[in-house]
Copies of this chain bind each other. A is one copy, B any other.
């Protein structure tokens, strides 16, 4: 007998992705106009239904992949959202996930093809259902995460300047940081490696490029335990 729980009700289960990117010193989210009823045309997160043969984390990864072609990036569950009437069409419980991607990995063409675009986190419009709430909650979680773990690098190019890194932290937390204090703290993080390359794009003088050394980070972690 395969139906132990036959007397109970099944429910539509979806995932919604809050896809964060960092561009022009702003934290952005990838959103688009909803392309299905109900709610067609409203601003919406990109999402999809969970299939019976995949885990919820996989469903989130698959959804991200279908939209962006990107795999193997940082994703983390935000929360399940399940008010009875959150979806005007039918009862759907949705699990929100946030993802961090490098905007350079997602071309303007791809955005057009899927009808999505990067919107500044501080300028999110009204959105379908509870999607805006999902975005706010995801941001809070990202703020906490980035304070303790080096996830920020997922939002930056492989090589970056300290000013870029600072702007990223400022964008995530929505507050300015002191340059000297910031650089002091970064210097104490062995997993942020100075390279001998110089970026000349944003200043005449040029700024040293750094990179994130994952192995160093993991060694650090072991050391601390």
Closest to A54 in B: B84
How many residues does chain A have at the interface if contact means C-beta atoms less than 8 Å apart?
A: 37
Q: Which chain B residue shows the least CB distance to A13?
A: B11
Copies of this chain, tallied across the complex: 2
**Once the chains bind, are B84 and A53 in contact (CB under 8 Å)?**
yes
Residues from chain B with Cβ under 8 Å of A13 in the complex = 10-11, 13, 82, 93
- Taking the complex as formed, is A140 at the interface, i.e. its CB lies under 8 A from any CB of chain B? no
Give 1 or 0 for each of A93-114: 1 = CB within 8 Å of chain B CB: 1010000000000000000000
Q: Is the CB of A4 within 8 A of B52?
A: no
Inter-subunit contact B83/A80 (CB<8 Å): no
Q: Looking at the complex, which one of B5, B10, B53, B90 makes contact with A5 (CB distance below 8 Å)?
A: B90
A55 x B84 contact (CB < 8 A): yes
- Say whether A52 contacts B91, CB under 8 Å: yes
Within 8 Å of chain B (Cβ to Cβ): is A154? Answer: no
- A96 CB to closest chain B CB (Å) equals 10
The answer to whether the Cβ of A50 comes within 8 Å of any Cβ in the partner chain is yes
Q: Which positions in A face B, CB cutoff 8 Å?
A: 2-5, 8-13, 36-38, 49-59, 77, 79-84, 89-93, 95
- Could you show 17 A-B contacts with beta carbons less than 8 Å apart? A3-B90, A4-B90, A5-B89, A8-B49, A9-B49, A9-B51, A10-B10, A11-B13, A13-B13, A50-B82, A52-B91, A55-B84, A56-B80, A56-B83, A57-B83, A59-B82, A80-B95
